[in-house]
Every structure is written in structure tokens, then in C-alpha cells.
Structure 1
Amino acid sequence: MIFKVYYQQSITEVPVRENTKSLFVEGESVRDVRTKIADRGYNVEFVQEVTGAFLEYERQNEDFKVLEIG
């Protein structure tokens, strides 16, 4: 499954909507995705599964890349 992760660049930053970034990660569950990116030091705000029409919409973006973290 593919998940969209909304995060702040640094775990010490206070979440500010204008500074929120996102990335796509392949994983089995929300917990699995959070475990995979835990070592990156991100302040994760939200992890959302992306499926169906939402996934197709996101794939149309030229910056769409899915991280496959082992």
C-alpha cells in the first residue's frame, strides 16, 4: 500500500501549515510507515493511506515519487 506522510522537516519544529511537507512511502500499515521513517528525524503530523482516485490524482503530479524503504 502507498501512504502519504505529512511532516515538518525537524522534530524540534512546531507544526506550521505553511512549512508542512509530504512524501509517499510504500508500507504494510501506518505503524510500518512510521517505523520506516523514524530515523529521519521528521516531526510526523499525519499518515494517510492513498488509494483509488486519490492515488491516481497524486500520480499525475510530476514530483510524485514513492519511497521504498527496506
Structure 2
Amino acid sequence: MIFKVYYQESSKQVAVRENTKTLYLEAESELDVRKKLAHKAFNIEYVQAVKGAFLEYEQKNEDYKVLEIE
């Protein structure tokens, strides 16, 4: 399943909407996403499953890239 992760680049950074970045990651669950990103110093705001029409819409975005993290 594909997940969209909203995050700040530093875990010390206060969540400010204008600074929020996103990435896409293939994982089994939200917990799996968080485990895969644990080695990064991200401040993860929200993890959202992306499927159906929403996934199709996101795939049309030029910034859409699914990260491959083991």
C-alpha cells in the first residue's frame, strides 16, 4: 500500500504548515512507515494511506515519487 507522509525535516522543528514536506512510501501499515523512517530525524506530522481515486490524482503530480526503503 502507498502512504503519503507529511513531515518537517527536523524533529526539533515546530510543525508549521508552510514548511511541511511530503513523501510517498510503500509499506504494509502506518507502523511500518514509521519504522522505515525511524533512522531519519523527521518530525512526522501525519501518515495517510493513499488509494483509489486519491492515488490516481497524486500520481499525476510531477513531484510524485515512491521511496524505496527496506
Normalising by structure 2, we get a TM-score of 0.98
Give the root-mean-square deviation of aligned CA atoms: 0.5
State the Cα distance separating 1:39 from its structure 2 match. Answer: 0.6
* Runs (5+) with no aligned partner, structure 2: none
How many pairs align?
70
Letter in 2 for 1:15: A
Q: Percent identity?
A: 64
> Which whole-Å deviations, capped at 9, do the CAs of 1:36-69 have from their partners, x for residues lacking one?
0011100000000000000000000111100111
Runs ≥4 residues deviating over 6 A: none
Normalising by structure 1, we get a TM-score of 0.98
* Runs (5+) with no aligned partner, structure 1: none
Residue of structure 1 in register with 2:33 after alignment: 33
Letter in 1 for 2:11: I
Residue of structure 1 in register with 2:60 after alignment: 60
Higher-helix-fraction structure? 1
Q: Secondary structure at the match of 1:6?
A: strand
